[in-house]
Structures are given as C-alpha cells and as structure tokens.
Chains A and B, each alone.
Chain A
C-alpha cells in the first residue's frame, strides 16, 4: 500500500520535473551553440574523400597518361607485326657467326647493311 503510494507520488514528481521550465535551455545558450557550430563548419570543412591511387595508376600517370601509353603500345605491336610478317627474310643464315665469330670486330659496321630494314627487298 505504502509502496503504491510512493510510486504514485514519484510518478507525479517525475511529471512535475518533466514540465519544469528550468530544464529548458535559454535562447542565449542556443545562440552560443549555433555560433560554435557555424564556426566549426567554417574552420573545418568536410574533407573530400580522396581515392587511393594504385601503383599501376601512378605508373600510367608518370609516363603521360593513357594517350602516351597507347602510343607505346602501338609501337610495340607494329614491331611485332613487322617481325612476324617478314618471316626469316630479314635474317641472314650466318647471324650467329656474324655476332660471335671471327668477324665480330666488324659486325657493328656490318649491321647497318645487313639488318637495316629494307622494305624494297621483297620486291
């Protein structure tokens, strides 16, 4: 019985506390908090999330980006095509001998004549 009475009294007191105007913030406090909030927004704009660059992206960027890289790739493909299309016609049978043989001393000067691309050779 007494417990019920205490509970009712406390419930009533809690309700009085809920409606107590002293638990309401003053306009001054709200203004101060808003001012702090605005100053924080000015001082600390949200960082723009930066994407992490992979090593490959960094390498591509270093050589001038994708346009430059496509030129390099094209040159490589062209070289392979020339080599395959020409077959063995651009190679002398004595290639090994020319490089490692007795005539090695003069092979650099010979190289110009023997291995230079000659697109008229097939004609």
Chain B
C-alpha cells in the first residue's frame, strides 16, 4: 500500500503491514510515532540528545514487537508511551540530573521575534520547573497537560490507578506553580 494511502490506517494495522514487509508502513509508522516518543522524552528529560536516544530505542522496540503484536489488545501509542516513559526513568535514575538543551533551533517566521523569545523563555521556565518534580509526577503532568492524554490512558501507560494519576497531576501542578512563583513577572504574568 503506498505511503499516501496509509494516513488513515490505524497504528495496529500498520504494524501488521510492517511485519509483512511493507516498506510504506515502516515510513508511516516512523513519521507518525517518532515525534510522540521524542516529544515525551524531551519534555521529561529536558535534553535533545538523550531524548533522541530514547525515542530511537523505543521505536526499535516497537518494530521488533510488530510480528507478535496482538491487534485490539492494547493501543499502540499507549504501549509506546509506556516504553518511552520507562526508558526515561532508567536514564533519570542513572544521571540523577537534567540539563536544559542548548541546541539552537530555527525560528518560527509566523511569530514576532519578541513573541518567539517570550515563548522560548516560558517553555524553558516550565522545563526547569518540571525538572524539580519527582519523576512520576513529572511524567504524569507531561502526559496530561502537555501531551493531552486522558487520565485512564495515563493510568494504563504508568500502570497505576486513575485515582493515583489524579493525585500525581494535582500535586505536580501545585509544585510547578510554587517553583514558578518567583518568575511570574519575568515571564510576563501579572496578577490582576
């Protein structure tokens, strides 16, 4: 099946095609799912190089899993987030520290330079604040509030109850607000 016809094909069907040697499925899965794995790893680890390693490893594991994938049993993205989150946890436990990435990226032409700078400053501030959270709180907050996953989906990804997810995200948000309290004005937020 050509690549341009696979855009609406579900992830699990693409995995079956991939296992049967379909090259277009390999391309579609790579372009569709690598950004998710990478973005999650980057937001949790705060480092592009580390996030690239994690995303690549997670995708390789997914491709290796393809021949044994049981359709309908688990959502592919849930599985991928879980593997990515676990790989991130392993890295965090090894390094015990998070460095903000300093690789310059192309500017977004649609926004003014000032707006872009402020957005970057806000994203950096959030990333720094996220790094102060315990790893499980950080993962839950990233999945819920940045990646837009539902609480039941996060519960499945993190293999905990929905109540535990709600507790983690609530505590995580409170901790973030405290960590960012001193930077409100610098980030352009004024009360009242």
Q: How many residues of A contact B (CB 8 A)?
A: 35
Contact of A24 (CB < 8 Å), options: B20, B39, B56: B39
A81 CB to nearest B CB, Å: 53
Q: How many residues of B contact A (CB 8 A)?
A: 47
The reply on A73 being an interface residue by CB < 8 A is: no
Query: Which segment of A37-45, A60-68, A106-114 sits at the interface?
Result: A37-45
Q: Known: A17-B146, A46-B19, A46-B21. Is A26-B56 also a contact (CB below 8 A)?
A: no
Contact of B23 (CB < 8 Å), options: A16, A29, A41, A46: A41
Contact of B38 (CB < 8 Å), options: A6, A18, A29, A44: A29
The reply on A9 being an interface residue by CB < 8 A is: yes
B101 CB to nearest A CB, Å: 6
The reply on A96 being an interface residue by CB < 8 A is: no
Question: Which residue on chain B has the smallest CB distance to residue A26?
Answer: B52
CA distance A91 to B3 in the complex (A): 80
CA distance A46 to B184 in the complex (A): 55
| Cβ A37 vs Cβ B18 within 8 A | yes
The reply on A104 being an interface residue by CB < 8 A is: no
Question: Which residue on chain A has the smallest CB distance to residue B189?
Answer: A9
Q: Give the interface of A toward B (CB within 8 A).
A: 2, 5-7, 9-14, 16-26, 29-30, 32-34, 36-38, 40-41, 44-47
